[in-house]
Structure formats: structure tokens, C-alpha cells
Amino acid sequence: MNTHALRHDVITLATAAGRMVGTAGHEQARGYLAERLAGLGLDPYGERFELPYAASGARLCNVIGVAPGTQPELAPIVLAAHYDTCGPLPGADDNAAAIAIALRVAEQLRAEPAPRGVVIALFDGEEPPHYLSPAMGSIHWYHHQRRGPVHCAVVLDLVGHDVPVPGIEDLVFVTGMESDPELVIDLAGVSDSVRVQPVLNRYVGDLSDHHVFRAHERPFLFLSCGRWQHYHMPTDTPDRLNYAKMAGIAELVELLVRRVSAAQLSGPFEGGDTLALELAGVERHFGKLLGGAAKLVGRRGVDAFVKLAMGGFGL
């Protein structure tokens, strides 16, 4: 499993200077990402890859390219990850790892296009003080830079680290399957490198750039490994990431994008029933941690487990 490109992108982006909005590191990252999108042979989203905007006295810039699909008349998928950091921090896991994965998937989609075009959206302004404000890159893009309808959004954040619980280090959580019945996809066994645990978005909230899509009732999937001890810390450095796991997540994301590209996604919004997949995943991944407790039953059982996971397991 070749992880060289993933590692190179993370090391290039995750410097000690960080990528905080308004800093030299932020400007350097912006230029690097535009060059990477061009180097992959993607089309600019409009006239240029860089889409600058100003908000509250700050200069921000979304960096966006397109992997064309074989049926350009279809509404595209958005594959998104933010590139700014919360302060002058390296931000290897938050969120250089997600950028590297998105670029890997973009390369695969350029070589073998999906039916729908895929907008590779590297959003700015996800971190405070812009988070959930009109200056947040994804929100600004949706309202002011978007060039038509969106079929579905696939958003990545905090996808470079091992889950800090023994026995489930290779897990990745996916929310948003409930946003459309066609997104209720059984991903058990699809990868040798990562395991997938579906979870309702309402359990964790709109933690990243999928917020604007959910708020406007667009289908979405959000992938994350959760928070860990290096979240928003100077210790979030490239040497602490699991690049083999990242390669597995890249394969998973490509599979999801291709499946979603072929799906109708005709709603109703939040009409997907994920309960069976959630219960099966909890039993499969957390059974030993539960110490042989009785099987979870129904939504109340999942509710109780999520409360335990967020407390006792530290997720």
C-alpha cells in the first residue's frame, strides 16, 4: 500500500507555522493546494482554482477543482475538507490528513471518472472564529460561489489518527447515512485497513463543513475518527498519524463517491433508517469493550451506548 503521496502532502502542509487565516503559512498552503489540483489535471471551479473572499476584515480563500464525470449534465458530488488551522498549529490530523486523502481520491477519479463530476472543495475558515459563521468557507461557498445544485456532499475531518481505544484503533465513524435512504450502505468488510461504524449525526452535531449541506437538506456523509489527545494542540504533527489507515480511508471514500454517483438520492431527506447497521456495528466493534453485556435493543439501546462511549470510552 503506497502511502508516499499522503505523507508528502501532510508534511508539506503541517508545518510548525500552521495555516491560521491571515498568516504566511495560510498563504503558502493556499498556493500549494492550487498547484496540487492543477498538477492532478483537475478543472478549475470557474476561472481559477482559488476563490478568494473577505469577511469581518479577514482575507479567506476556498481552493476548489473538479474531477469531470462522464455525464456532465448530472449534479456533482462535493468532496470536502478544510485546510485552515485553529491557531499557529501544525494541524496534521486537523486537517492536513483529510486534504491528502481528498487529493488521493481526486487522482483516482481523474484517471477513472465517475458518472458525476466531483467537486474537490478545500474549504477555508472552518476553525474559530469563523466556524458556523457566514465567513466559514463551506457556508460562503454554498451561498455565494456555488455554480448549481449539489447531488451529495462527502466531508472529511480528523481522519488521520488511530481511535485512542485499544481494539478499535482502525475505526472510522460515518454520519449522514440517515440523510437519504439510498445512503444506508452496509460497509462491513469492504476494507482490510479500516472498519466503519455508522452513527446518527445528531449524536455528535455539525462538527465540520457538512453543516451547510444538512441545513439545506442536501444528502451528506461525514467521515471522522473523532477527537484525540492531540486535537488543537502543538503536538498534532505528521509523525503521529497512521498513513496506512489513511490509505484505507482513501479507498473507502473513493468507493463511497462512486456508489453515491450512481444513486438517485430522491429522499425523503433524513428518511434513511440506519438502526440495523448501527446495532450490528456496535456489536461487531465494541462487543469486547462492553464486557459481554446483553445485546443492544432498538434506538434506546444505541442512545445508551453512545452516552457510554462519549463518557467511559472517551470518544
**Amino acid found at 157:** D
Is residue 171 a contact partner of residue 225, using CB atoms and an 8 Å limit? yes
Sequential pLDDT tens for the chain (315 residues): 689 999 999 999 999 999 999 999 999 999 999 999 999 999 999 899 999 999 878 899 999 999 999 999 999 999 999 999 999 999 999 999 999 999 999 999 999 999 999 999 999 999 999 999 999 999 999 999 999 999 999 999 999 999 998 889 999 999 999 999 999 999 998 888 899 999 999 999 999 999 999 999 999 999 999 999 999 999 999 999 999 999 999 999 999 999 999 999 999 999 999 999 999 999 888 877 776 554 778 898 888 888 877 655 555
- pLDDT of the residue at 311: 58
Q: For residue 177, what are the contacts with CB-CB under 8 A and spacing of at least 6?
A: 183, 184, 185, 198, 221, 272, 274, 277
Reported pTM: 0.96
- pLDDT of the residue at 256: 98
| 3.20.20.150, 3.40.50.2000, 3.40.630.10, 3.90.1150.10: CATH of 4-272 | 3.40.630.10
How far is it, in rounded angstroms, from Cα 315 to Cα 310? 5
How far is it, in rounded angstroms, from Cα 248 to Cα 40? 20
Location of each CATH 3.40.630.10 domain in the chain: 4-272
Q: For residue 109, what are the contacts with CB-CB under 8 A and spacing of at least 6?
A: 67, 118, 254, 257
Burial classification of residue 120, based on how many CB atoms lie within 10 Å of its CB (0-12 exposed, 13-18 middle, 19 or more buried): buried
Instruction: Kindly report, residue by residue over 178-221, the tens digit of the pLDDT.
Output: 999 999 999 998 888 899 999 999 999 999 999 999 999 999 99
Percent pLDDT > 70 in the chain is 96
